[in-house]
Amino acid sequence: MQEFTTGHKPPSIGKVKGLCETFEYFRQYTRFCVFSWMFVEGLYLNGMITAAVFQKPNFKLYYFIGWILPLFPVTAWAITMKFTTEQACWFGYVKSPYYWIVEIPRNLILLINLGFLINIIRILVTKLRESNTSETQQLRKAVKAAILLAPLLGVTNLLFLPDNPKSHESRVVIVLYFYGVMIVTPFQGVIVSLLHCFVNGEVRLLLRRKWAGWKSSRQPGGRLRRQSNSTTTDVYRLNSIYSTTETIRMSFVKHSTQLPQQPSSPVLASPSLSANSPSPSPPPSPGGIAGGPDPASAEDVSTSLL
């Protein structure tokens, strides 16, 4: 450690009483929260798939599991370490048997999520068989679902439950184990974001819409058009309704003016008329077609409706 000009070494975090232990406590708490939210994801997905009727999620329960529940085992572990070890920063706590206070609940969460994953894959395969799909497509979709859900539920962490390989074991086993730990554990969030966000079709479609809206708002008058979009649509709809109604009304007015004048008194059948006399012809209908409207006016109405 680099010395100051006075010859004294700078104080380290381990020499500040209680500071290092407090950081370690929050580190274990945040790590436990990660596992708790993995359990919430598995609980939500399993309930959504197995439920016959969709129910509104109980977000209060999810918040309690994700943020409050980890406080109990982590606090119990910190109190135990406080009264059982004298090492600064609780050095070597991973080898301590008290570390199982937080490790057992975390591993139990992973096992439960593994059960959720198996149940989800089982339901998926059952639905694929009912849809009469081929065996190859069923296997392909089941494997794809398992690959997508395994990192989301944290099931990949079960690969590192066994102890670290010893020095006398195969070099290939040692390299695969430690490189697997270094890749899967720190990059789990990156893998989940890639599989469920950046390559998701719905997310990319939403981003394209947002980008197109942003470019439209940057153009001259784009912001005004976007803000008045709904109002303009309503105005156009009202104008169209008014224009159609006015056209129909004027068409009826036009027809009424073209009708012939009827006699003031009705024509009574006279008994002097013979049976062979021709009957009076009916008045010509408007437009030349009996009972039909004016073709030109009908064309105008249909055009206005379109």
The per-residue pLDDT for range 69-112, each reduced to its tens digit, is 999 999 999 999 999 988 888 888 888 999 999 999 999 999 99
Report the C-alpha gap between 244 and 305 in whole angstroms: 6
Instruction: Give me the mean pLDDT over the 158-175 stretch.
Output: 81
Q: What is the DSSP letter of 55?
A: -
Residues contacting residue 284 through CB under 8 Å, at least 6 positions apart: 260
Q: Write out pLDDT tens, residues 151-161.
A: 888 888 887 77
Q: Which residue carries 């006075």 as its tokens?
A: 6
Report the C-alpha gap between 176 and 63 in whole angstroms: 37
Return the domain boundaries, the chain.
1-153
Q: Which residue carries 């975090």 as its tokens?
A: 13
Query: What is the CATH class of 1-153?
Result: mainly alpha
- pTM exceeding 0.75: no
